[in-house]
Amino acid sequence: MTYDSASMIQDKNKAVLVIGAGGVGSAYIRKAVQYPELFSEIHLASRTYSKCEALKAECGSKIQVHQVDADDTEQVYQLIQKISPHIVVNLALPYQDLSIMDACLKAKVHYLDTANYEPIDEAKFCYQWQWDYQSKFKNSGILALLGSGFDPGVTNVFCRYAEKHLFDEIKTIDILDCNAGDHGHPFATNFNPEINIREVTQKGKFYKNGRWHEIDPLSESTIFDFPEVGPRKAFLIYHEELESLVKHIPGIEQIRFWMTFSDDYLTHLRVLENVGLTSILPLSFQGQDVVPLQFLKECLPDPSSLAKNYTGKTCIGCLIRGLKDGKEKSIFVYNVCDHQSCYQDVQSQAVSFTTAIPALIGTQLILENIWEGSGVFNIEEFDPDPFMNRLPKFGLPWQVKDNVKSNAF
Ligand code: NDP
């Protein structure tokens, strides 16, 4: 590993503002305070101030906390003016991406997120809304790094790394996401329930031979033998990194995304859908408009509360096929993460941890001017090597398995 701690220490005067004190935001803060040399100041702001105060009670003077409604660009801008951070790390929800980007533009500070923009009243995520900010960010001389979580995030970097070092030509990519953990609840989601359920209930979509293909939700599945986990059934779903990787990996013929779900999860989801509780259309209830999915979110466990009793592992990676030196080649580049190890490290479960660490590494690379530029960038547009070098240092070791054979692919 060639992690360069000298470059970290060079750049001392760097403040960060993290927005969102949920599962991912808390894991980010707890990890960041373990490395006091990374930032000159760490600020955390969120909608519910008591969540920020709870983290402040743990971390003491290492962090400063604030209340903000990130839907309101002016509030975010005023906070940025007060703090003067070098970068704003958006770990709130995809709904806030554009309002936070607008505040960053106005204040001329860098921006980073882990999930692409999604309008609250339409279950549709898409990079175009954020790509449309390209010229504004470029002209302002600031950088927006999109999708610096695990998937999107590490998976994109895995693809770029494979393209740079392991292949002459990449033909197909299958991103495989397995959470083989057990949280002990009959039904819970591993990150924000509203965002998670919107994602898995939409139509599946993949790219093949120059065009996009749509399938009914969760209608195609395969069995994949995940390292350290074993064979699991994974379902083809649409995921946001497909959209940017098609654009940035030259010559790609096919790209798909697969996620494992237990039978129990799927049965609960089907029932909730059938009774209308996953709908985002408001209903009138006792004189008030209620969005069923938002109500359902309030009934479900807070994903960060799952951490203490979560056992088992996640395994997420990219099965990549192509040519090297004129020969066909296939690899699986992946990370395995243990829920209990994450809990011991930062009191979070593996899904929050595997999102927070890449966000923390992306922040460092921007603060240290290792990843630099003006404009809006997806993570795979940068050199993958410094990011890959830091993953193990911050708790996400990765491996490459050669000649992966699977009947399913
Ligand atoms: P949580 O729901 O646990 O946390 C979200 C936090 O954002 C909450 O503290 C919430 O406040 C705060 N928030 C929501 N709206 C606002 C607002 N208007 N102003 C200020 N703060 C607000 O979600 P997670 O931590 O699980 O997920 C965070 C992000 O990470 C999401 O965008 C999610 O899609 C993304 N993600 C990305 C992954 C990846 O691999 N790329 C994987 C997993 C998640 P309050 O407490 O008041 O509700």
Closest ligand 1 atom to the C-alpha of 96? 18
Cβ atoms of 202 and 228 closer than 8 Å = no
20 CA → ligand 1 middle, Å: 6
Closest ligand 1 atom to the C-alpha of 193? 2
Beta bridge partners of residue 205, listed in sequence order:
214
β-bridge pairing 283-285 and 288-290: antiparallel
408 CA → ligand 1 middle, Å: 34
Q: Is 151 in the pocket of ligand 1 (CB under 6 A)?
A: yes
pLDDT, residue 404, reads: 86
Selection from 116, 364, 93 nearest residue 238 by Cα: 116
Residue range 172-193, pLDDT digits in tens: 999 999 999 999 999 999 888 8
261 CA → ligand 1 middle, Å: 22
**5 has pLDDT over 90:** no
| Average pLDDT of the residues in 55-76 | 97
24 CA → ligand 1 middle, Å: 7
Three-class DSSP category at 398: strand
Tokens of 171: 């033909």
135 CA → ligand 1 middle, Å: 27
Q: Is 113 in the pocket of ligand 1 (CB under 6 A)?
A: no
Residues 6+ apart with CB under 8 A from 94: 113, 115, 116, 117, 118, 125, 195
Residue range 336-370, pLDDT digits in tens: 999 999 999 999 999 999 999 999 999 999 999 99
Residue 389 pLDDT grade (very low, low, confident, very high; cuts 50, 70, 90)? very high
309 CA → ligand 1 middle, Å: 21
**3 has pLDDT over 50:** no
Residues of the chain with CATH 3.40.50.720: 5-149+352-392
**407 has pLDDT over 70:** no
- Amino acid 393 reads K
pLDDT, residue 406, reads: 66
Beta bridge partners of residue 213, listed in sequence order:
206
Q: Is 232 in the pocket of ligand 1 (CB under 6 A)?
A: no
Q: Which homologous superfamily is 154-347+394-402 in?
A: Dihydrodipicolinate Reductase; domain 2 (3.30.360.10)
Residue range 263-281, pLDDT digits in tens: 999 999 999 999 999 999 9
Residue 241 pLDDT grade (very low, low, confident, very high; cuts 50, 70, 90)? very high
CA 94 centroid distance within chain: 10
pLDDT, residue 6, reads: 37
Residues 6+ apart with CB under 8 A from 57: none
Residues of the chain with CATH 3.30.360.10: 154-347+394-402
Selection from 360, 355, 372, 377 nearest residue 304 by Cα: 355
Mutate to test the pocket of ligand 1, among 72, 145, 191 (most ligand atoms within 8 A of CB): 191
Q: Which residue has the tokens 């986990």?
A: 229
91 CA → ligand 1 middle, Å: 5
205 CA → ligand 1 middle, Å: 25
* Range with lowest mean pLDDT among 6-10, 105-109, 319-323: 6-10
Cβ atoms of 32 and 388 closer than 8 Å = no
DSSP, residue by residue, 11-51: ----EEEEE--SHHHHHHHHHHTT-TTS-SEEEEEESSHHH
298 class by beta-carbon count within 10 Å (0-12 exposed, 13-18 middle, 19+ buried): exposed
- Amino acid 193 reads P
Q: Which CATH architecture has domain 5-149+352-392?
A: 3-Layer(aba) Sandwich (3.40)
d(CA 217, CA 201): 6
Residue 384 pLDDT grade (very low, low, confident, very high; cuts 50, 70, 90)? very high
Q: Is 362 in the pocket of ligand 1 (CB under 6 A)?
A: no
Q: What's the residue count for the chain?
A: 409
pLDDT, residue 13, reads: 66
Q: Is 191 in the pocket of ligand 1 (CB under 6 A)?
A: yes
| Average pLDDT of the residues in 215-231 | 96
pTM, to two decimals: 0.94
Cβ atoms of 397 and 11 closer than 8 Å = no
Residue range 137-156, pLDDT digits in tens: 999 999 999 999 999 999 99
Three-class DSSP category at 239: coil
**113 has pLDDT over 70:** yes
* Range with lowest mean pLDDT among 50-59, 193-202, 320-329, 391-400: 193-202
Task: Provide the mean pLDDT of the chain.
Answer: 94
Q: Is 84 in the pocket of ligand 1 (CB under 6 A)?
A: no
